[in-house]
Chains A and B, each alone.
Chain A
């Protein structure tokens, strides 16, 4: 009985909790964190339950309110949905644990508001990944985005303007998506994705369908910060509160990538997105450019959070590249990278947040000698960084492995070279920081007499921050080792037919 309604619980429960958190916040700030934690935990467990069901009995179809599709809203959960649900809710759980201290310090006045928005944001993201209805997806996309704007606006003094610009660009993206839905509706008279997939092939030669596809792609590219439509991301993410940065960085662009895959290969068929139009070929080259651009600009940054933002742009490029080579290896790599990147970004942004919490450090120079001050946090950063670079045995290596093999299988040597080159560039980016973190030039230590006077006294982040960071680190180390099993149990079923 319960398991049947898990897809509804995953959305409805956080929605109700978000309301209750706000109400409870009028009386006391204390229960807000625990209520949010409860909401997220329930969603996470429900996601696990769904994944389990999908693995055992295949695709689940859930009719909201009992209405038959295509009239009612249908939640159609296949392996890809279930996989994304677990990633998103898992990362949310980790960040919620992490948020407690950080929010108490950064937003002491706005704790209930923060948790209300945070729960709503998670609900929006989960909704995007679970729904099987194109218009419903728009609404949930906007729920996630609007709460995202608000959360980002809570950040430092530049945050409101960054958030406003994000809002303008993001809404344009959403409007484009909406237009795409409109065109499809005019042509087919349905909004249900499965229904659309059946009716569309007959109309593939239509210009309106092509326009719809173009609107979809541009809209989603804006939402997932795909180069060159990424301009909003570095400002928005780097000025947001630490927890928010960690959360949106690790989930939002990834959910965007999911939507892209859904539209390209479920609503439309690979024959449309690959053979009929050279969409994937163009995307491949742009993705390669995104990887280069992201890494090069990351090298040029001094602010650590901003640098990570450019790394995200490169990471989005990886995912799109994997999809665009249009073969089994590449697609596997892309989906695996969605998972790995979520963990890597969560880890790195949480470390940056923890360091900011303890020391207020923002720029690379501020990180000097951080290893002495916060050894565990710094070590976690090092592991996250190695994973982004793609050093085995961290998980980043394995997704790169599949991506490069996908590029080679597609005989796209340039893409393979671009992947390796961007690994090299990210090595430059991260070792520049690691060097500052791990070594202090002896002179400066001596100048201050001893380590303590030089501000190098050991002062580790609180356990409530360290534990979530350790979870992501464990994830980074274990996901690599188990990537073969993840692929054989889940990811191989997400590969579109014909790959």
Chain B
């Protein structure tokens, strides 16, 4: 398939913008907070515009390439923007704008310490996320993958309490440990087998069956799946709940979008562009992965039911939802892949809303547990309405975005003639409802518990978090709603991505 290649530095600019911003933030420091925050906002807007400016080319079926650095033959830092990458890039860079506003509101209302470090790390993390989205080979992906791990470590440990440091240590152990032990080895073996690491639409390893034994290919696949811990597939999911000690905006953007979505995005890349549909079908690995993901979906949902801490419940929900993406792509059918790609975006909007509301509740009332949320809907109506929309999107009820991806995933399961997968999807929908709807119910229909610290009945009064936090979460909730009615834009790009890997059939 001929593909027109445009050489342009735009993808590199998209990455550099936030790196430069990180530097400016560091220079500005605590002395001029408003200026420092201005850099964050400016960078996020510029970044999104740059990413957006690449969309027309992608829609025309072109790809954009940029070679940053050739280290040695077969080893280079190279960028390539294609349909799959642009969807992830758009989602991450758009949500960064919203999160930036929210972050500012959050850290200022809580008077957090080390705010400069916080914004610097955030900007670098976003740079690396875009780097993963736009990387042209597995080496570049690994490079940015590791940068994300290292620069989000201070964000997770931000509170610097012993608990936060413990959580951060666990976070690092899982992410860095598995990526060095398994993913890097898989990268080495891929290079050894294929002689290059460039992503190919038909699958880099597609032609190597025969020269490499099936055993080696299966080992490489397992090493990849074990090494991409950011996708939080069970049993290597333990870091995600531990990372919930981070400030909420971090959990929102990084642990609902940037970090975990990087994980599933890399899984999708490995499945589609390293192994390829053809090879995985021959090896029968797609189905195996699908069942593995199904296991995670169900078990994580069940665990989510038992969590009282709101953020931890959201974390387990994330673990379960991430596996939807893996499940979809593992089905290796057109609808499954479409559903998978769509879910990267649609879940992001839903889950970030939920995390934003958790943060807003914490800032306004200092409550963190589900059992404390009785009647909070009267006190924070906008927040809880947004929460409801987000929850409905997670469950996959129309008219919310989550429905669309679930629809495609179900179609994919039918195409693959996997009835058990269809049952898993149905069961998890019910489980999702079971752990989200009671919160909505309690928030709106239960009487608030009498508060010993306040006289009278504070629950009746409207007491929202600062506007800088409420507006973003209302926006993301609205986006989740809008995406149901106008998903065509994303569907079209997903269609191109699908066409790339299936060769237009």
Chains A and B share a contact (CB less than 8 Å): yes
Q: Which residues in A have some Cβ–Cβ distance to B below 8 Å?
A: 386, 389-393, 398, 401, 404-405, 408-409, 416-417, 420-421, 423-424, 427, 431, 435, 438-443, 480-481, 483-484, 487-488
Instruction: Closest B residue to A432 by CB, please name it.
Output: B169
Q: Which residues of chain B come closer than 8 Å to A481, judged between CB atoms?
A: 69, 71
Q: B173-191: which residues lie under 8 A (CB-CB) from chain A?
A: 176-177, 180-181, 184-185, 188-189, 191
Report the bound CA distance from A392 to B192 in whole Å.
Answer: 19
Judge whether A424 and B192 touch: CB under 8 Å.
no
Judge whether B169 and A392 touch: CB under 8 Å.
no
Contact A442 to B159, CB < 8 A, known contacts A405-B191, A431-B172: yes
Instruction: Closest A residue to B154 by CB, please name it.
Output: A438
Of A409, A416, A438, most B-chain CB atoms within 10 Å: A438
Judge whether A483 and B185 touch: CB under 8 Å.
no
Q: Which residues of chain A come closer than 8 Å to B150, judged between CB atoms?
A: 386, 391
Q: Pick the residue among A386, A389, A421, A483 that contacts B72 (CB under 8 A).
A: A483
How close is A312's CB to chain B, nearest CB, in angstroms?
Answer: 21
Q: B328-372: which residues lie under 8 A (CB-CB) from chain A?
A: none
Judge whether B185 and A417 touch: CB under 8 Å.
yes
Judge whether B143 and A393 touch: CB under 8 Å.
yes
Contact A435 to B157, CB < 8 A, known contacts A391-B150, A423-B180, A424-B177: yes
Q: Pick the residue among B75, B168, B181 that contacts A421 (CB under 8 A).
A: B181
Judge whether B176 and A440 touch: CB under 8 Å.
no
Q: Pick the residue among A420, A443, A480 that contacts B185 (CB under 8 A).
A: A420
How close is B78's CB to chain A, nearest CB, in angstroms?
Answer: 13
Q: Does B48 count as interface, using CB distance less than 8 angstroms?
A: no
Instruction: Closest A residue to B142 by CB, please name it.
Output: A392
Contact A405 to B185, CB < 8 A, known contacts A390-B180, A439-B157, A441-B161: no
Give me 4 other A-B pairs in contact (C-beta within 8 A), A442-B160, A487-B72, A488-B72 excluded. Answer: A390-B180, A392-B139, A481-B69, A484-B73
How close is A6's CB to chain B, nearest CB, in angstroms?
Answer: 30
Q: Pick the residue among A420, A431, A435 that contacts B181 (CB under 8 A).
A: A420
Q: Pick the residue among A398, A421, A427, A438 that contacts B157 (CB under 8 A).
A: A438
Contact A408 to B189, CB < 8 A, known contacts A424-B177, A441-B162: yes
Report the bound CA distance from A423 to B179 in whole Å.
Answer: 11
How close is A333's CB to chain B, nearest CB, in angstroms?
Answer: 12
Q: Which 6 A-B pairs have the closest CB atoms?
A: A484-B72, A484-B71, A392-B143, A439-B160, A408-B192, A404-B188
Judge whether B71 and A441 touch: CB under 8 Å.
no
How close is B117's CB to chain A, nearest CB, in angstroms?
Answer: 9
Q: Which residues of chain B come closer than 8 Å to A408, judged between CB atoms?
A: 188-189, 192
Judge whether A424 and B72 touch: CB under 8 Å.
no
Report the bound CA distance from A408 to B164 in whole Å.
Answer: 39
Q: Which residues of chain B come closer than 8 Å to A420, judged between CB atoms?
A: 180-181, 184-185
How close is B342's CB to chain A, nearest CB, in angstroms?
Answer: 31
Q: Does B146 count as interface, using CB distance less than 8 angstroms?
A: yes
Report the bound CA distance from A219 to B265 in whole Å.
Answer: 52
Q: Pick the residue among B73, B154, B177, B192 that contacts A405 (CB under 8 A).
A: B192
Q: Does B165 count as interface, using CB distance less than 8 angstroms?
A: yes
Instruction: Closest B residue to A408 by CB, please name it.
Output: B192
Sort chain B's interface into a size bin: 20 to 34
Q: Which residues of chain B come closer than 8 Å to A404, judged between CB atoms?
A: 184-185, 188
How close is B445's CB to chain A, nearest CB, in angstroms?
Answer: 38
Report the bound CA distance from A483 to B139 in whole Å.
Answer: 15
Q: Does B70 count as interface, using CB distance less than 8 angstroms?
A: yes
Report the bound CA distance from A427 to B172 in whole Å.
Answer: 10
Judge whether A427 and B188 touch: CB under 8 Å.
no
Report the bound CA distance from A439 to B172 in whole Å.
Answer: 15
Contact A401 to B143, CB < 8 A, known contacts A442-B159, A484-B70: no
Instruction: Closest B residue to A407 by CB, please name it.
Output: B188
Judge whether B180 and A424 touch: CB under 8 Å.
yes
Report the bound CA distance from A408 to B180 in whole Å.
Answer: 16
Q: Can you list, as one digit per residue, whether each of B444-478 has a CB less than 8 Å from chain A (1) or not (0)?
A: 00000000000000000000000000000000000
Judge whether A416 and B185 touch: CB under 8 Å.
yes
Please list 16 pairs of residues, one from A and one from B, whose beta carbons are closer than 8 Å in the complex, sorted by A's number.
A389-B176, A392-B139, A401-B75, A409-B192, A416-B188, A417-B185, A420-B184, A423-B184, A427-B176, A431-B169, A435-B169, A439-B154, A439-B160, A440-B160, A484-B72, A484-B75
Report the bound CA distance from A468 to B432 in whole Å.
Answer: 57
How close is A326's CB to chain B, nearest CB, in angstroms?
Answer: 17
How close is B341's CB to chain A, nearest CB, in angstroms?
Answer: 27
Judge whether A424 and B181 touch: CB under 8 Å.
yes
Judge whether A442 and B142 touch: CB under 8 Å.
no
Q: Which residues of chain A come closer than 8 Å to B161, judged between CB atoms?
A: 441-443
How close is A87's CB to chain B, nearest CB, in angstroms?
Answer: 20
How close is A458's CB to chain B, nearest CB, in angstroms?
Answer: 12
Of B71, B77, B139, B172, most A-chain CB atoms within 10 Å: B71
Q: Which residues of chain A come closer than 8 Å to B191, judged between CB atoms?
A: 405
Report the bound CA distance from A478 to B127 in whole Å.
Answer: 19
Q: Which residues of chain B come closer than 8 Å to A423, judged between CB atoms?
A: 180, 184
Report the bound CA distance from A401 to B188 in whole Å.
Answer: 8
Of B72, B154, B159, most A-chain CB atoms within 10 Å: B72
Report the bound CA distance from A435 to B170 in whole Å.
Answer: 12
Report the bound CA distance from A94 to B401 in whole Å.
Answer: 59
How close is B215's CB to chain A, nearest CB, in angstroms?
Answer: 12
Q: Which residues of chain A come closer than 8 Å to B164, judged between CB atoms?
A: 439
How close is A407's CB to chain B, nearest CB, in angstroms?
Answer: 9
Q: B108-152: which residues lie under 8 A (CB-CB) from chain A?
A: 139, 142-143, 146-147, 150
Q: Which residues of chain B come closer than 8 Å to A483, judged between CB atoms?
A: 71-72
Q: B21-74: which residues lie under 8 A (CB-CB) from chain A?
A: 69-73
Q: Which residues of chain A come closer than 8 Å to B168, judged between CB atoms?
A: 435, 439
Report the bound CA distance from A443 to B162 in whole Å.
Answer: 9
How close is A295's CB to chain B, nearest CB, in angstroms?
Answer: 13
Report the bound CA distance from A68 to B86 in whole Å.
Answer: 68
Q: Which residues of chain A come closer than 8 Å to B169, judged between CB atoms?
A: 431, 435
Q: Pick the residue among B73, B147, B165, B177 that contacts A439 (CB under 8 A).
A: B165
Of B154, B160, B161, most A-chain CB atoms within 10 Å: B160
Judge whether B180 and A398 touch: CB under 8 Å.
no
